[in-house]
Amino acid sequence: MPLALDPHLRRALAERVRFYNELGIYDFYQREPRLAENAEQAPAADVALSVQSQSEVREEMSARKSAAVARVAGENALEILPSKPEYGIADPAAALKLIREDLGDCMRCRLHQQGRKQIVFGVGNPHAELMFVGEGPGADEDAQGEPFVGRAGQLLNNMIKAMGIRREDVYIANVVKCRPPGNRTPERDECETCSPFLMRQIAAIKPKVVVALGAVSARNLLAINAPMSELRGRWYDFKPAGSDASWPGARLAVTYHPAFLLRDPRQKGEAWKDLQMVMKYLGLEAPKRPEE
Ligand code: SF4
- Predicted confidence at residue 79, as pLDDT, reads 58
- Predicted confidence at residue 287, as pLDDT, reads 72
Q: Is the pLDDT of residue 65 over 60?
A: no
Q: Which residues contact 121 (CB under 8 A, 6 or more apart)?
A: 100, 103, 145, 173, 177
Which residue's alpha carbon is nearest to atom 6 within ligand 1?
178
Q: Which residues contact 25 (CB under 8 A, 6 or more apart)?
A: 196
Average pLDDT for residues 150-178, to the nearest whole number? 97
- Predicted confidence at residue 236, as pLDDT, reads 98
pLDDT band at 45 (very low <50, low <70, confident <90, very high): very low
pLDDT band at 56 (very low <50, low <70, confident <90, very high): very low
Q: Is the pLDDT of residue 28 over 50?
A: yes
Q: Is the pLDDT of residue 21 over 80?
A: no
Task: Give the position, in ligand 1's atom list, of the atom nearest the Cα of 190.
Answer: 4
**Distance from the alpha carbon of residue 23 to the mean position of ligand 1, in angstroms:** 10
- Using alpha carbons, select from 140, 144, 162, 135 the residue that is nearest to residue 258: 135
Task: Give the position, in ligand 1's atom list, of the atom nearest the Cα of 186.
Answer: 1
Give buried/exposed letters for 35-60 (b at 16+ CB in 10 A, else e): beeebeebeeeebeebeebbeeeeee
Which residue's alpha carbon is nearest to atom 4 within ligand 1?
109
**Ramachandran angles phi, psi of 253, nearest 5°:** -120, 155
- Predicted confidence at residue 8, as pLDDT, reads 73
> Are 55 and 11 in contact, with CB atoms under 8 Å apart?
no
More confident of the two residues 197 and 51: 197
Q: Measured from the CB, is residue 112 less than 6 Å from ligand 1?
A: yes
CA dihedral 165, 218, 122, 97 (to 10 degrees): 110
Q: Which of 64-73, 96-105, 169-178 has the lowest mean pLDDT?
A: 64-73
**Distance from the alpha carbon of residue 183 to the mean position of ligand 1, in angstroms:** 15
pLDDT band at 67 (very low <50, low <70, confident <90, very high): very low
Beta sheet of 250-255, edge-to-edge order: 123-124, 171-174, 130-134, 209-213, 250-255, 236-238
Q: Measured from the CB, is residue 165 less than 6 Å from ligand 1?
A: no
- Using alpha carbons, select from 124, 153, 123 the residue that is nearest to residue 138: 153
Helix (H) / strand (E) element for 130: namely: strand 130-134
Q: Measured from the CB, is residue 177 less than 6 Å from ligand 1?
A: yes
| Angstrom distance (rounded) from CA 28 to CA 24 | 12
Work out the percent of the chain whose per-residue pLDDT is above 90.
Answer: 67
| Angstrom distance (rounded) from CA 171 to CA 284 | 17
Average pLDDT for residues 17-46, to the nearest whole number? 53
Which one-letter DSSP state was computed for residue 43?
A: -
Q: Which of 3-17, 94-108, 201-215 has the lowest mean pLDDT?
A: 3-17
Q: Kindly report the average pLDDT of the chain as a whole number.
A: 83
- 237 bridge partner residues: 251
> Are 228 and 254 in contact, with CB atoms under 8 Å apart?
yes
> Are 176 and 198 in contact, with CB atoms under 8 Å apart?
no
- Predicted confidence at residue 50, as pLDDT, reads 35
Q: What are the pLDDT digits (tens) for 83-117?
A: 789 988 999 999 999 999 999 999 999 999 999 99
pLDDT band at 82 (very low <50, low <70, confident <90, very high): low
